[in-house]
Amino acid sequence: MSKMLLLLVLLSLLNPAVEALDNGLALKPTMGWLHWERFMCNTDCDTDPDNCISERLYMQMADMMVKDGWREAGYEYVCIDDCWPSHERDAQGRLQPDPKRFPGGIKKLADYVHSKGLKLGIYADVGEKTCAGYPGSLGYYETDAQTFADWDVDLLKFDGCNLKWTLLGDGYIKMSKALNKTGRSILYSCEWPLYEWPFQTPNYTAIRETCNHWRNFNDVFDSWISIKSILDWTASHQDIIVPSAGPGGWNDPDMLVIGNFGLSHDQQESQMALWAIMAAPLLMSNDLRDICPRSKELLQNRRIIEISQDPLGKQGYRSAKGNSFEVWERPLSKNRLAVAVLNLQEIGGPRGFAISGVAGWKKVCDPQCNVTLILPEYKEMGVQTKESKLILKVNPSGTALLTVTPISKDFGRIHWKDTD
Among residues 159, 252, 266, 287, the one annotated as catalytic is: 159
**Residue 170: count of CB within 10 angstroms of its CB:** 11
Q: Please, which residues have CB within 8 angstroms of residue 298's CB and are 6 or more apart in sequence?
A: 258, 265, 268, 269, 272, 304
pLDDT tens, 66-102? Answer: 999 999 999 999 999 999 999 999 999 999 999 999 9
Residue 6 has pLDDT above 80, yes or no: no
Helix and strand numbers (H, E) in the chain are: 15, 17
Alpha helices in 216-292 (DSSP H): 224-236, 238-241, 265-277
CATH code that applies to domain 317-406: 2.60.40.1180
For residue 279, report the phi and psi dihedrals to the nearest 5 degrees. Answer: 50, 40
pLDDT tens, 283-342? Answer: 999 999 999 999 999 999 999 999 999 999 999 999 999 999 999 999 999 999 999 999
Q: Which CATH class is domain 31-309?
A: alpha beta
For residue 230, report the phi and psi dihedrals to the nearest 5 degrees. Answer: -65, -45
- Identify the pLDDT of residue 20: 83
C-alpha distances in Å from residue 309, one per residue of 73, 76, 205, 325, 344: 11, 13, 23, 26, 26
Among residues 68, 219, 232, 239, the one annotated as catalytic is: 219
Q: pTM of this prediction?
A: 0.94
Distance separating alpha carbons of residues 70 and 83, to the nearest angstrom: 25
- Identify the pLDDT of residue 420: 40
* Residue 219 appears among annotated catalytic residues: yes
- Identify the pLDDT of residue 12: 46
Task: Please state the domain extents for the chain.
Answer: 31-309, 317-406
**What distance lies between CA 331 and its chain's CA centroid?**
17
Which has the closest alpha carbon to 196: 178, 174, 231, 170? 170
Q: Please, which residues have CB within 8 angstroms of residue 3's CB and are 6 or more apart in sequence?
A: none
* Residue 159 appears among annotated catalytic residues: yes
Distance separating alpha carbons of residues 395 and 349, to the nearest angstrom: 6
